[in-house]
Amino acid sequence: MSGNWLIKNTFHYSNFMNIGRLVEEKRKKNLSISLCLPTLNEEKTIAKEIVIMKSELMTHYPLLDEIVVIDSGSSDNTREIARSYGADVYKASEILPDLEDFKGKGENLWKALYITKGDIIVYLDADITNIHHRFAYSLIGPLLITDHIKYTKAFYDRPIAIGKNKMRPTGGGRVTELVIRPLFSLYFPELTQILQPLSGEYAGFRDIFEKIPFPIGYGVETSMLLDIYEKWGLDVIAQVDLEKRVHRNQDTQSLGKMAFVILKTFWDRVEKLGLIKIKKQMLDTMIQYNLVENDYKSDIYTIKGLERPPMIDVPAYHEKFKKADHK
């Protein structure tokens, strides 16, 4: 494992605070940049994210060319609010309607490739309560300033909310430390240098994203890292310290479901890489138990384990972007 990567490919957001320089690099390289916000019932936070990104990185500095919201079918006012603040809003189910419809974050990210126009795409979660435009410009920075970095991930302290206006200064990232880091340590120790592999904030060149498959659910970040690492190596990846990210935290049962999906995604990837051979078919159900009126009731969560193929293999995308044969 090379320790040089951690030194050379780890940045702090303050390295990219000269946004004017980033705009100049963008113009010099003739690049366009899209911001995608995948949503599901984010009416409490979506307006602030759009307002800050639009005012700071479109009006003040022309770094972003578009802000696109891809929604999973929110039952609240997420889409209406996002549209009223100037984002381009789409329901995931209405994108590439000839394909079977699936629900999940990975599905939204994948379909964003078809909708967005940018050479660089920034993906940010839509539930960040301490949103700041550094969440976008700092991820874009290494892609513009260097010639070899093609994919950037955020890392940060993740304080846990313990009540109204109260936070514990450490914690968060529980699935990373209990699931992904042990697995990476066993099979891909180089990837343990990525401090928060499951962070929902990342950016990269379209030429990278369009050539990898996207699991439709929670496993997308794990799959993305493994595929980029295997296809292009660790040196094309960088990470940026954003210092702090505050968002809603999930309970242990919800984290268990997330861990279940991520584990299945990981084992699937490892088997496809020929590192192991799984002799028994993995099941698709996560079984948990709740105490209901002094009786334990099973709570069964089922996943389909589906993933979308590389977008470049989709004929409609190929035609829209007039892609040359990539094989």
| The pLDDT of residue 170 is above 80 | no
d(CA 122, CA 109): 10
The pLDDT confidence band at residue 252, using thresholds 50, 70 and 90, is confident
Domains located in the chain, CATH noted: 4-164+196-250+307-320 (3.90.550.10)
Q: What percent of the chain has pLDDT over 90?
A: 72
Q: What is the pLDDT of residue 292?
A: 85
- Contact, 269 vs 262, CB < 8 A? no
Q: What is the pLDDT of residue 29?
A: 98
| The pLDDT of residue 321 is above 60 | yes
| The pLDDT of residue 173 is above 80 | no
Q: 23-37, 135-149, 214-228, 235-249: which range is least confident on average? A: 235-249
pTM of full prediction above 0.75? yes
The predicted-structure confidence for 237-251, as pLDDT tens digits, reads as follows: 999 999 877 655 678
The predicted-structure confidence for 262-297, as pLDDT tens digits, reads as follows: 999 999 999 988 888 998 888 889 889 988 888 898
- Contact, 318 vs 96, CB < 8 A? no
